[in-house]
Every structure is written in C-alpha cells, then in structure tokens.
Structure 1
Amino acid sequence: MESPTRRHRRIRRRNVILASALTTTLTLSGAAAWAADRYLVEHVEIDDVAAYEAENSPVTADDTDTDTDTDTDTESESILTDTTFSDGETAVEISTVVEGSGDATVTYYVADVTLGDATALRSAFADNSFGQNITDLTSSIAEDNGAVFAVNGDYYGFRDTGIVIRNGVVYRDEPARTGLVFFSDGTVEVYDETATSADELVAAGAWNTVSFGPAIVEDGDIVEGIEDVEIDTNFGNHSIQGDQPRTAVGVIDENHLVFVVVDGRQTGYSEGVTLTELADIFVDLGATTAYNLDGGGSSTMYFAGDLVNSPSNGGERATSDIFYIAG
C-alpha cells in the first residue's frame, strides 16, 4: 500500500508538471498574441494621409499647375506606349535585361526616370493611412493614386524606427540607420539618420526619405562590406544576403533616376542577385549613388496598369508603401 508521504509527493510532482505545462501554454499564447499585435494587427496613426498632406505639405496645387496657357498644355500632353511615358517634362522608359543561362539566368527590369521637377516622384501609403501593418498590393496603391509607374518602397510599416518623410511631410522621426533622402532641388544623398532629425531635413528641402538600405553605390563605386550589413535585428526580420529578388534606386544626375527590380527564386527564369551584383548593375547603368529598398516577395514594378516583373511569391505581396509617377 502506498504511503501517505509517497502519495503526497506524487500528487505534488503531478501538480508541478501541470503548472509548468500551463505556464508554457500561457507563455506561448502570450508570445503569439504579441507577435500578432506587432506584425499583423493594424496600428493606424494617421487615418487620412491625403488630408494630412494637404494641410502640411510645402507643395500645393498652385505650385504644380500654374500655367493655364493652351499652347503649353498641348506641349505637355501625356504620351504613353507599352514601355514609355512622357508628359513633356517627366519621362519614364522601361527596359528588360536577361543575363546568364540555365539555373544562372537573371532577369531584371530597369525604369529610367527623368523628372521635370523633383516633386514629380511621390510616395503613397497603403489604404491612405500611416502606421504599422497597414498593407496593400503595389498595383492597388498605384491605381488608387493615379500612378503610371510605381515600385514598392521600404516597407516602413514593418518597423517602428527610421526617419520617414514623404511628399515633404514628416511621419516618423526615430533615427536608426543609413537612409536616403531626395531633396526638392533634384539632389539625392545617402545620410546617417542618427546625425540629424526629420525637421532639419525638411528645413533643408527634403522631399522623400527611405529607411532600409544598405547604400550599395557611392561616388560611382561599389560600397565595401555591403554583404555583411544587417538592416534590422528585430524579431521576424529576414536576411538580405545571398541571391534574392531586389528593388533599388540609383541616381544618374539631378532629377535623373533609375529604378531596378530584379526577379528571383525562379529557376531558369531568374535566380536573383547578391547586393554586390545589384551594385554592379547600377554601376553599369552609370549611377553615382544607389540604395537598396525592400526586396524578396515585395519586389514589384508597375507600369501603365500592369505588373512589369514576376514577383517571387507567384503574385504580388502586400506592402506598406510605394514610390510613383502620376500619369
């Protein structure tokens, strides 16, 4: 017959095991709830970006459309083909490049963009809202904003750090990494976010910023060490090393940009490229500066109502923001 002491110890041991299992379950449930809240649940900070920018943007409708002369309107009439767009000032030309063969084939798309004015390059957020985990397809955001050309942005909504200035308006001022700033005078610079502030940048004429990276070309040369850069160390971040689909922007000259979207993870069509190989593409295109944007399944180029590239997920992956040219 089992002694009372032994029975007590057995019951106590069972209770300890049950308590440990319950604690583990609650911990896992708590972690799941935290992860869902952090990466899935929408956290809206500004629910009407259009109205917010109308109130705060340094550029007004009068600044962009002051000439009502009929002849001038005729000269700036938009011209659209399968691969080109021009409105008399701003122009976009899309080209396709295929390199290599077999499993080593790489396919990428180049958008050569000349801006009549630096402010013609605009940004838009998913669902006309700013915050975390607010996403939509690049093509849908583009259509909502009358874009003729668009690429995915830096997926600002995945993180809560970085300097986010869009269309001349400050949305976030949490310096964290090396960013890229587009000024309203047509110049573009790689900069250290931690050495400045959003207000200082706007005062200097900042129009748009991106906070992802790394910078892959500076002064016409490939930046050393780019294969070892980590953009984020937060939970859920994916590696940007290796052969990957890519989106990036390069600077040829003032108001002359080049966007590149490289497809990847599709054997026989396009395996993707490393950051160094991506930098090589921009050097060959004549870029003096180039900066890596969000890639992987997010990499998307849109033109004239259609997807230009073939996203690695088999279709578009929702993102938080785009850069675009209005049609």
Structure 2
Amino acid sequence: MNSSSLPQRSTVRKKKKPARKRKKRGFFRTVFRVFMFCLILLIIAGGWLYLAPSAQNTRYLIADTLITTQHRYMAKYIIGEDELKNRVSEYTERFQEMGNEVDTHVIEPEPVVPEDKPLVEIEKVTGSGYAGYVMIVNDPKKVRLGVPNKIGSGEKVSSMVARTGAIAGVNGGGFADPNWKGNGFKPIGLVVSQGKLYYNGLGGKKSTQIVGLDKEGKMIAGNYTLDELSKMGVQEAVTFQPRIIVNGKGQIKNAAEGWGIAPRTAMGQRADGALIFVVIDGRQPGYSIGANLYDVQQIMLKQGAVIAANLDGGSSTVLVKDNEILNKPSSQYGERYLPTAFLVFENPEQADIKNIWEGLDPSKIDAGKKRAQ
C-alpha cells in the first residue's frame, strides 16, 4: 500500500485565537445575558403593575407621587388621563372636607417656657424611606410670618432669617409657580402678618384653607372666611391645605390616602401651646425619598399635636436655625425663593416686616417674570 494514500497528520498547527478576543466575546455575552434578564424582569414587573389587581395601590402611590412634582402629566401613563383628573378632583374634595370640622382645641392661656428649656428645640426624625427634623417652638407668641423685601421676587428663608434677626424659620404657604420656575412673589390665597391682611388673592372665593396663629398663640387651621378670621383675631396666616389633625384626631386613615411620597413641611400645636414644625426631606435616594401625609400626621400625633396642617412642601421645604440650613432641600438649584415663612424671634415685637404687596393688584402680578436681583 502506498503510504501516501494514508491519512497524514498535518504538520501545520492551527493558530490559537488571542485571549483578548475570547475575553471580549465573553464580556459581551455576559452583558447581553444581563440585559435580557433585566428586560424580562422589566416586562414581568410592567405586566404586574398595569394588569394585576394587587398592584392597584402601587399604581396610585406612583401616580400620587408624580402629582406632587413638576412632572404631574406623567401620572397619566400610570393610571390614565381620566383617572388622573378624577384623582386630583377627589383629593381636592377630600382636602376641603378635612378642613370643615369645627376646631375646639384650647391651649394654656399664658404659655411659659421653663428657664431650663430653650425657646427652640430641634431633633432628627426618621422613618421608612424618609429623614428630617422636628422643631418645637415652646412659646407660640414668638412666631411671626416673614415676607420678601423686594417687589417682584420671593426671598429665601435663610435670607429672611438673617435679614430680620430671627433665630429660626421654615417655609410657609404656596405660591403661583408656572413650570416650577416661578419667582416666588405671587402667593396663593391669603397672607396675614402682625394682624394685618398683607395679600388677598382669593378673587371671588369666599373662604380658604388657613394655617396660622391668633393673638394668644393658638394655632388656627381649617376652612374660614375673611370675616371669620377677623373675628378670631388671626395674627399670622397663609393659605394651604390639608388640615391633617383636628381636635386631637388624625384625618388621614392610612398611607394609601397620604397623597404620594414627597418632601414635606407641616405645622402643629400641643395642648400646652408649643408649636411643632415637621420638615421631611425627599427625592434623594440613599438619604431620604420622602414621606406621605399619613407619615407626617403620625409624627405629629406622636409629638402630642392636637391640631396640625400641611404647609408647602416639595422643593420649597427648608428649615433654618441660627443662620444655617439644617435639612437638604430637594431643588437642584438649592433653596427656593418663596413668598412666606414662619419665623421665630426672641423679641418678635422688634421684627420689621413690611407689606411688600401694598398697593399691588394680585391679578396683575406676573408669577413667571424673572426675579429681581
């Protein structure tokens, strides 16, 4: 047999593929698998969120949270446009209802701060997904409502505190905020400071939801007319809602009624007259996502509040003490320009708070005009 007809072992060795190419292909295979795994999880989660009856509360929580932000329109992609309108309408009606019960709470006629207790006490507060502060003001008569000092522009709370000589301050009422870029100069509803009506933006409305204080330092919160506020001797007040505690009872039944998760500011009062300010940070994963109104209500009840109400929150939420911002405002631009703030003074009678809106027509104030420098 001719040996040349037998199979011959090749003397030429195949070149091995470079290790770098093998590693590169292995890396891309791993990335692809991870991507596909995440995609499948996303599809499953999306199917559960939109189709499963058990996910209804989660859908509403996400939608309610979006409603409290500048991206409210996105809530329609979670619950639909019609349901979004219904949800906002339901909250408006519910908040109105929560302000109607007659408040009968009383406080000690002459709150006295013990010599060994400071006027202002601050402590940190944490809960599931949120972090913030509780500020106790032991003498409610030491609080005044601060307003800006320049026409056409709101003012940062830290600036109000420094300018007026206050020892502490928190943000107050709401304001017209077109595209979340407002100048902070056009309040919503009423502004009362030192017993005088500084601003009336009610238009044709007869009543509004008020958060404030009377001459004796008693907290006033709920739905009132201007005539009622005058007869009650209201000294400091802003328009905001909802009232979350009245006559010692919480108005929000559970977290599902808590109007989403967001940065929060609220004001309450104990039976001894001490004021409670709750400031919760939010929209900052890894630190604090935020709280719902039920969370805030429960903090207030734990602190002994017999009455409490929500104040403007979101990117407006701020707490200043001794000229230092204690919390972490959620706005990417830092502390916002606002129309009102509750300020605490050692000597409030010396506070110089002028009516910056005097002589101005509320209907002609441009809320979106570039703020004065």
Q: Distance in 2 between matches of 1:286 and 1:143?
A: 31
Q: Distance in 2 between matches of 1:268 and 1:165?
A: 39
- Name the % identity: 30
SS where residue 260 of structure 2 aligns? Answer: coil
Q: Partner letter of residue 154 of structure 1?
A: G
Q: Which of residues 166, 191, 195 is equivalent to 1:168? A: 195
Q: Distance in 1 between matches of 2:150 and 2:176?
A: 13
Seen in structure 2, the aligned counterparts of structure 1 residues 163 and 313 have a Cα distance that, compared at 3 Å, is closer
Q: TM-score, normalising length from structure 1?
A: 0.61
Q: Distance in 2 between matches of 1:127 and 1:276?
A: 35
Instruction: Tell me whether 1:123 sits opposite 2:142 in the alignment.
Output: no
Q: Partner letter of residue 135 of structure 2?
A: A
Q: Partner letter of residue 172 of structure 1?
A: Y
SS where residue 140 of structure 1 aligns? Answer: helix
Structure 1 position 176, deviation (Å): 4.6
Preserved contact between residue 182 and residue 188 of structure 1 (Cα < 8 Å)? yes
Show the counterpart of 1:217.
Answer: 245
Q: Distance in 2 between matches of 1:126 and 1:252?
A: 29
SS where residue 177 of structure 1 aligns? Answer: strand
Instruction: Tell me whether 1:201 sits opposite 2:229 in the alignment.
Output: yes
CA deviation map 1:170-222 (0-9, x unaligned): 123424532224111122232323xx21x552343211112111011112222
Q: Partner letter of residue 170 of structure 2?
A: V
Q: Which of residues 290, 297, 309 is equivalent to 2:308? A: 290
1:125-204 matches, within 5 Å, as 125-127=147-149, 134-156=153-175, 161-173=188-200, 174=202, 175-193=206-224, 196-197=225-226, 199-204=227-232
Q: TM-score, normalising length from structure 2?
A: 0.54
CA deviation map 1:240-285 (0-9, x unaligned): 9311000110111253111010000111111101111111111111
Q: Partner letter of residue 290 of structure 1?
A: A
Seen in structure 2, the aligned counterparts of structure 1 residues 128 and 203 have a Cα distance that, compared at 3 Å, is farther
Deviates more, 1:305-314 or 1:173-182: 173-182
CA RMSD of aligned residues (A): 2.9
Preserved contact between residue 247 and residue 260 of structure 1 (Cα < 8 Å)? yes
Seen in structure 2, the aligned counterparts of structure 1 residues 313 and 91 have a Cα distance that, compared at 3 Å, is same
Q: Partner letter of residue 324 of structure 1?
A: L
Instruction: Tell me whether 1:310 sits opposite 2:328 in the alignment.
Output: yes
CA deviation map 1:113-162 (0-9, x unaligned): 111xx442101111255xxx621211011111111100011134655652
Seen in structure 2, the aligned counterparts of structure 1 residues 299 and 119 have a Cα distance that, compared at 3 Å, is same
Q: Distance in 1 between matches of 2:114 and 2:149?
A: 28
Preserved contact between residue 161 and residue 176 of structure 1 (Cα < 8 Å)? no
Seen in structure 2, the aligned counterparts of structure 1 residues 134 and 88 have a Cα distance that, compared at 3 Å, is farther
Gaps of at least 5 residues in structure 2 are 1-112, 178-185, 347-373
Q: Partner letter of residue 341 of structure 2?
A: I
Show the counterpart of 1:114.
Answer: 138
Seen in structure 2, the aligned counterparts of structure 1 residues 96 and 225 have a Cα distance that, compared at 3 Å, is closer
Q: Partner letter of residue 138 of structure 2?
A: T
Preserved contact between residue 145 and residue 237 of structure 2 (Cα < 8 Å)? no
Gaps of at least 5 residues in structure 1 are 1-84, 230-239
Structure 1 position 287, deviation (Å): 0.6
Seen in structure 2, the aligned counterparts of structure 1 residues 260 and 139 have a Cα distance that, compared at 3 Å, is same
1:246-257 matches, within 5 Å, as 246-257=264-275
Preserved contact between residue 247 and residue 299 of structure 1 (Cα < 8 Å)? yes
Q: Distance in 2 between matches of 1:154 and 1:241?
A: 18
Q: Partner letter of residue 193 of structure 2?
A: R
Q: Partner letter of residue 306 of structure 1?
A: E
Seen in structure 2, the aligned counterparts of structure 1 residues 241 and 320 have a Cα distance that, compared at 3 Å, is same
Q: Distance in 2 between matches of 1:303 and 1:250?
A: 18
Structure 1 position 86, deviation (Å): 9.4
Preserved contact between residue 145 and residue 192 of structure 2 (Cα < 8 Å)? no
Show the counterpart of 1:98.
Answer: 126
CA deviation map 1:50-105 (0-9, x unaligned): xxxxxxxxxxxxxxxxxxxxxxxxxxxxxxxxxxx9998971001112234xxx3x
Q: Distance in 1 between matches of 2:156 and 2:264?
A: 17
Show the counterpart of 1:6.
Answer: none
Q: Partner letter of residue 127 of structure 1?
A: N
Q: Partner letter of residue 297 of structure 1?
A: S
Structure 1 position 164, deviation (Å): 2.2
1:51-90 matches, within 5 Å, as none
Q: Distance in 1 between matches of 2:118 and 2:195?
A: 19
Q: Partner letter of residue 108 of structure 1?
A: G
